[in-house]
């Protein structure tokens, strides 16, 4: 039974938020993905969103770009927490997506994430931090995840000290 | 029987597009106004928009600000032409409203108007130019409207020549 | 006899709005294309636009980029509905084109479309929705077009369910 | 015992998010407010945020403007959900606040709210929707709140129909 | 016989470029002002611009705001130097006006001035520097104007030294 | 003897304004190019600019990017007309260059050109239109240049009519 | 003997950076103020800046708005640290000033401060932190200044706790 | 013993500010580099920054992108001068990084550098100009560095004169 429901406006958005799926899986969170547009399939969007809560879904994640109405439209059909991911576009790198998701009117909140790669990852992590309220297991996993992130940085510092910045940068460039 | 249906997300938008109503009235166009939010009353919005065509409505005008989803959401429920008016905000004077209305995905068009006062007027005039396709009377009225606009400018030029620019500017400032 | 007249400021804009032509053709709409600049060939632009209505043209579509005056200049010579397509540029992905087309003064409306690929498609679809007022055939085709768009999304969902998101994303990436 | 912890970077931000406090109170949510800057009192900020969870706080709300680091800094000291409210500024109405809060790196999520008045209200409502996971009472209150918002719009429509748009707008202007 | 022709899109622009007129007068330059819109009176605009050269006009100054097409449209009808003044708007203080005037296509130059008050003054001064090519008198006046500007700054420094910055600022505030 | 002086802040700007040189050459205008930075070689910049007039230079063209001070700094050392070309950057495609050149204070005008390729071409053409005041030959060449631009568009229309839009677009794509 | 030299492009900038003077005075730093424009008095600007070091000045602070060249021009005439303060304008609240000061080319650094009120204060504090390298007294005063800022926040928290947020906000509003 | 401490939020930022390291080395400045994130390793960041002064570090350089809190967070833990380098992003080329670093509140200054390549170089040069206050050797090296930059430009001018602009541009293009 999925705890998280993920809705994207177009299947081309799926690879852009792949790290969202990867993190949820890494944490052992059950999730469901649906492709449904706010504008092309408004009925399906409404049905899926409004039935999410009774299916056991606790948090909804919606990704969209341009006039990115999907997160806001999802939020209009549920009182579950809705997390919005702005997909990058050519308009200043996604300023249209950002403002369309962020500037919701008073009364219907959408938790907006950063544009680009960090958006998918942080949507997953915010959803997990919300689920942590009812599942202490997630809370502990989150703490461990943070520790691992820190350790990775400590390791890199050790490596940087050991090899010197010139070799380190050279290695970075070669691995690109 | 209304030919034009106007939907605003909040009653506070009504005074901002007052010139829309004034122009429609001046042209003798029958219109209907409804307050319905894309997010707070999605059901009512859908019902009103999807039944518009059978009520005889030929063009829909939707005004909204911020994450201005209303025009796009309206367009998702009808194949009638939908005209969107971006209401001014503090974000660069309404850049959020503009991009939320303008950057619609392929398949669901919204005819976006300028932000601010010109938005209401031009929404009315575009709607009338569309109605002109089935009502020659409107077409003639539009031509006369254009002529009147031009004549007003000619009159002002005459006045400017007669009084000189100093007196003209002085008078403008006093009437402000 | 063309029902739609399309004007572009430069022939390099033609490939950028190719989907506009494709959709009009798919709907069986007769259209005429002209290359004429607002600035380099103002006379030709004026002549073509002002004689459009008597040639039977019912909607004008104009595409331009940068200081994209063409749609507004076209609108100054006709009372037919004018649809403007902002061509993408390097200034924030086309913010100059968008604002030059969108921010028309009160009295001379231009129906502005999104920048980029969606612009061409939606210009065609808005024009067809306007023509639907006098041609019920188009109205039915529009409804079918919407249904087909929705079905495509349903099919993709079925595929996503069947293959799982990992395989689906993998396939997407390989087809790119 | 507070369920929500609210942190603002400067006491001048308090009146700007007053509706946040009002809504929490209206829903009967216990909350704690602290003034602590990310930059001027980093130690206090860290202490308060890192001890929040053991005090029973379940969601943190942080408001800040300009280089609005407070929500992100708070998120760096806890795995609780952190909601960020961008305070309006002169830079495009708060684009600096928005981007400083929104564009968090992968790993440390902040749920960003709209700039301006809606930010405070939606932060409260998102926090309550998160608390609803563990308190069904809040969930029901949220549904009632949504219904009340919708009814208010229905009432305004009735009033608009009854009085006509001219009188309605006149009344709106007089009450301003 | 006017040496400079000034065209504004709306008479409300006249007070905004008043310093343009004042400077031209101060330099003893003969000029002609016309109100004519690119969109509302395209014919008059064309006639006036295209006959400017044979009337002896040597430089054209055009001011407009929003989708500020007037300078570009003027430039399309003449090979005289055209100077454009972007009138301030609510969109980022006039970014729409700036980009609509500035981003002209290759082939039709417009010399764009700053938005706001400096725009009117600098349009006059640029026009005079152009006229200086054929009138040495203007060239000398320009040099004197520059000297006067510098002297004004030297005087203020003297005053600042004499009174101290506290009294100087106090006096500035009182005179506001 | 050069009539036009061109100054660039860095030799890497030279290829970016190559069409400026080409057009000047095509019109038979004598010009001089110097590489001198507003910040790295302020003395040389000042010397070259302030001695330009006595060398017979009548118009100065300055190109720079980023904090593009060169055109404004040039204008501070001469009363000759100064034309500024904003070089494209990563900040919104050159918004930093545009605003740094455009927003000059009252008293010191810079004639700002579009960012990108059109900037170089239009700087040359504006300079030539200014020189036309003292050289009727240039004026006639400018008219012929305009006519040639128009004819090129007419030719393309003929080609488009003859081959049909599909073949025309196909050919365009192949030649890219 | 002044340790800090402050240069503003216009005397109208003086009140906008008043807190800069106040803080320097509070710390007992000797400073000198000059009004000199990058464009209107380039010679005086150059003289003052290039003789600053031998007069004992250790840091230069320059404030300007719009095409804010003054800090960069100052930096071109000295190797002393130059701090730039962007004065607020109508273009997005000062984005033109910010980018003109910030986007300096490689080789000539300017330490850019925030736009608006914080700019003046932080310029003073950064200058003092630089002077602290040679004057331990300033270093201690800086630490005390930071402590005082923190204590002010602690005091406000105490007040907020004591009076409750409603009374606190009420008091804030009344004192405005 | 390091005089300069450099902190980056992610090791991927190291190659982006490589010229910072190169210039410091060229000037013979001893420096230390650490990778530590404001959000992922807030403790390490705090420890390293707050112990910098007693280790003899005199200036801190911090580079970060997106919600680039690192320079501001560093500044909150020290009274040493802090220089911030905005790393380029997709949001208008780094406008998010710029504003997050620049718009610091009153009291905690960060000396902001340009986005992109110039940022690293200018951070090094500003740091060296600060160190020059206590080390006259650096001051002389800075003057020589400036002279070398100027001479490089003079050499290029000589080359340009010798080869002509066509050959010069051709050579530039070939070397790219």
Mean of pLDDT values over F15-39: 98
Decide if F39 and G107 are in contact by the 8 Å CB cutoff.
yes
Decide if F40 and H154 are in contact by the 8 Å CB cutoff.
no
Task: Measure CB to CB from residue C130 to each of B113, B133, B145 and give the nearest one.
Answer: B133
Decide if H173 and F11 are in contact by the 8 Å CB cutoff.
no
Q: DSSP character for D4? A: E
**Gap between the Cα atoms of C59 and B46, Å rounded:** 28
Mean of pLDDT values over C105-129: 97
Q: Give the mutation candidate from C100, C106, C108 for the E interface (greatest E CB count, under 10 A).
A: C100
Decide if F94 and C92 are in contact by the 8 Å CB cutoff.
no
Residue of C nearest to A22 (CA): C166
**Same structural domain, D118 and D146:** no
With cut-offs at 50, 70 and 90, classify the pLDDT of residue B175.
confident
With cut-offs at 50, 70 and 90, classify the pLDDT of residue F89.
very high
User: Are chains A and G in contact at 3+ CB pairs closer than 8 Å?
Assistant: no
**Does F147 have pLDDT greater than 90?**
yes
User: Are chains C and D in contact at 3+ CB pairs closer than 8 Å?
Assistant: no
Residue of A nearest to H15 (CA): A169
Residues of chain C found within 8 Å of residue A89, distances taken between Cβ atoms: 93
Decide if C40 and E76 are in contact by the 8 Å CB cutoff.
yes
**Gap between the Cα atoms of B101 and A100, Å rounded:** 9
**Same structural domain, D18 and D77:** yes
Interface size between F and G, measured as CB pairs under 8 A: 101
Q: Across the strands, what pairs with H65?
A: H87
Which residues does chain E have with pLDDT short of 70? 176
| Residue G175, pLDDT score | 84
Which phi and psi angles does D62 have, rounded to 5°? -130, 130
Q: Give the mutation candidate from C35, C43, C69 for the E interface (greatest E CB count, under 10 A).
A: C69
Q: How far A173 CA sits from the closest chain H CA (Å)? A: 8
Residues of chain D found within 8 Å of residue H66, distances taken between Cβ atoms: 103-105
**Same structural domain, D114 and D169:** no
Interface size between A and B, measured as CB pairs under 8 A: 100
**Does F1 have pLDDT greater than 90?**
no
**Same structural domain, A119 and A34:** yes
| Residue H17, pLDDT score | 97
**Same structural domain, C34 and C113:** yes
Mean of pLDDT values over D88-115: 98
Give the contacts of G31 (CB within 8 A, at least 6 positions apart): G2, G3, G4, G5, G6, G21, G24
ipTM: 0.97
Beta strands G82-87 and F82-87, pairing class: unpaired
Provide DSSP, H6-35.
Answer: EEESSGGGTGGGHHHHHHHHHTT--EEEEE
Decide if F67 and G103 are in contact by the 8 Å CB cutoff.
yes
Residues of chain F found within 8 Å of residue G72, distances taken between Cβ atoms: 38-39, 67, 69
Yes or no: say if F54 and F79 are a contact pair by the CB < 8 Å rule: no
Mean of pLDDT values over B9-30: 97
Residues of chain F found within 8 Å of residue C14, distances taken between Cβ atoms: 160, 165, 168-169, 172
Give per-residue pLDDT as tens, H90-140: 999 999 999 999 999 999 999 999 998 999 999 999 999 999 999 999 999
Q: Give the mutation candidate from D50, D73, D99 for the H interface (greatest H CB count, under 10 A).
A: D99
**Same structural domain, H53 and H81:** yes
Mean of pLDDT values over H156-163: 96
Decide if F14 and H149 are in contact by the 8 Å CB cutoff.
no
- Nearest of C54, C52, C59, C65 to residue C81 by alpha carbon: C59
Chains with 3 or more CB pairs under 8 A to chain G: D, E, F, H
Yes or no: say if E34 and E87 are a contact pair by the CB < 8 Å rule: no
Q: DSSP character for F17? A: G
Residues of chain E found within 8 Å of residue C74, distances taken between Cβ atoms: none
Residues of chain E found within 8 Å of residue F111, distances taken between Cβ atoms: 83, 111-113, 126
Residue of A nearest to H11 (CA): A156
Q: Across the strands, what pairs with C112?
A: B112, C84
Residues of chain A found within 8 Å of residue B108, distances taken between Cβ atoms: 39-40
Q: Across the strands, what pairs with H136?
A: none
Angle at F108 between CA F102 and CA F109, to 5 degrees: 50
| Residue C94, pLDDT score | 98
The sign one gets for the Cα dihedral D107, D108, D109, D112 is negative
User: Are chains B and H in contact at 3+ CB pairs closer than 8 Å?
Assistant: no
**Same structural domain, C156 and C122:** no
Mean of pLDDT values over D3-27: 97
With cut-offs at 50, 70 and 90, classify the pLDDT of residue G116.
confident
Decide if A146 and H40 are in contact by the 8 Å CB cutoff.
yes
**Does G100 have pLDDT greater than 80?**
yes
Per the prediction, chain H carries an average pLDDT of 97
**Gap between the Cα atoms of B42 and E48, Å rounded:** 53
Yes or no: say if B59 and B130 are a contact pair by the CB < 8 Å rule: yes
Q: Give the mutation candidate from A19, A100, A129 for the D interface (greatest D CB count, under 10 A).
A: A129
Residue of D nearest to B36 (CA): D153
**Same structural domain, F28 and F113:** yes
Yes or no: say if A35 and C153 are a contact pair by the CB < 8 Å rule: yes
| Residue C161, pLDDT score | 95
**Same structural domain, B77 and B37:** yes
Residues of chain A found within 8 Å of residue H21, distances taken between Cβ atoms: 165-166
Q: Which domain holds residue C78?
A: 4-131
**Same structural domain, B8 and B43:** yes
Q: Give the mutation candidate from G35, G46, G98 for the E interface (greatest E CB count, under 10 A).
A: G35
| Residue A116, pLDDT score | 84
CB count in 10 Å sphere of residue A13? 20
Residue of C nearest to B115 (CA): C103
**Same structural domain, A96 and A18:** yes
User: Are chains C and G in contact at 3+ CB pairs closer than 8 Å?
Assistant: no
Give per-residue pLDDT as tens, C131-156: 999 999 999 999 999 999 999 999 99
Residues of chain C found within 8 Å of residue E75, distances taken between Cβ atoms: 39
User: Are chains E and A in contact at 3+ CB pairs closer than 8 Å?
Assistant: no
| Residue D116, pLDDT score | 84
| Interface list for chain A against chain H, based on CB atoms closer than 8 Å | 88, 92-95, 114-116, 118, 146, 149-150, 153-154, 156-157, 160, 165-166, 168-169, 172-173
| Residue A1, pLDDT score | 84
| Residue E1, pLDDT score | 84
Residues of chain F found within 8 Å of residue E114, distances taken between Cβ atoms: 102-105
Decide if E66 and C105 are in contact by the 8 Å CB cutoff.
yes
**Does H152 have pLDDT greater than 90?**
yes
| Residue E175, pLDDT score | 84
Decide if A99 and B102 are in contact by the 8 Å CB cutoff.
no
Residues of chain G found within 8 Å of residue H83, distances taken between Cβ atoms: 111
Mean of pLDDT values over G135-150: 97
Alpha-helical regions (H) of B55-106: 70-76, 95-102
C102-126 residues labelled b (16+ CB within 10 A) or e (exposed): bbbbbbbbbbbbbbbbbbbbbbbbb
With cut-offs at 50, 70 and 90, classify the pLDDT of residue C110.
very high
Residues of chain D found within 8 Å of residue B33, distances taken between Cβ atoms: 160, 165
Chains with 3 or more CB pairs under 8 A to chain H: A, D, F, G
Percent of chain C having pLDDT more than 70?
99
**Same structural domain, B10 and B55:** yes
Decide if E69 and C69 are in contact by the 8 Å CB cutoff.
yes
**Does C39 have pLDDT greater than 90?**
yes
pLDDT (tens digit, 0 to 9) for every residue of chain A, 176 residues total?
899 999 999 999 999 999 999 999 999 999 999 999 999 999 999 999 999 999 999 999 999 999 999 999 999 999 999 999 999 999 999 999 999 999 999 999 999 999 989 999 999 999 999 999 999 999 999 999 999 999 999 999 999 999 999 999 999 999 86
Give per-residue pLDDT as tens, G122-132: 999 999 999 99
Residues of chain H found within 8 Å of residue A95, distances taken between Cβ atoms: 91-92
Total domains in the fold of chain B: 2
**Gap between the Cα atoms of F84 and F81, Å rounded:** 10
With cut-offs at 50, 70 and 90, classify the pLDDT of residue C175.
confident
**Gap between the Cα atoms of E82 and E58, Å rounded:** 9
Among the ranges given (B98-102, C101-105, C122-126, D115-119), the one the predictor scored with the smallest mean pLDDT: D115-119
**Does F176 have pLDDT greater than 80?**
no
CATH code of the domain covering residue A80: 3.40.50.1970
| Residue C148, pLDDT score | 98
- Nearest of D96, B91, G140, A99 to residue H72 by alpha carbon: D96
With cut-offs at 50, 70 and 90, classify the pLDDT of residue D119.
very high
Residue of A nearest to D112 (CA): A112
| Residue H1, pLDDT score | 84
């Amino acid at each position: 039974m999925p705890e998280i429901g993920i809705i994207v406006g177009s299947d081309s958005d799926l690879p852009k938020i792949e790290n969202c799926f990867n993190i949820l899986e890494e944490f052992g969170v059950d999730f469901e993905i649906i492709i449904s547009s706010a504008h092309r399939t408004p009925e399906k969007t409404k049905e899926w969103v409004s039935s999410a809560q009774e299916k056991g879904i606790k948090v909804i994640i919606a990704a969209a770009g341009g006039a990115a109405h999907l997160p806001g439209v999802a939020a209009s059909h549920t009182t579950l927490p809705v997390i919005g991911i702005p997909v990058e576009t050519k308009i200043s790198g996604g300023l249209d997506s950002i403002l369309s998701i962020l500037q919701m009117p008073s009364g219907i909140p959408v938790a907006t994430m950063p544009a680009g790669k960090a958006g998918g990852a942080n949507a997953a992590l915010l959803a997990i931090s919300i689920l942590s309220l009812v599942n202490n297991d997630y809370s502990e996993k989150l703490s461990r995840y943070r520790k691992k992130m820190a350790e990775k940085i400590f390791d890199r510092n050790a490596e940087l000290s050991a090899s010197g910045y010139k070799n380190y940068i050279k290695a970075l460039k070669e691995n690109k």
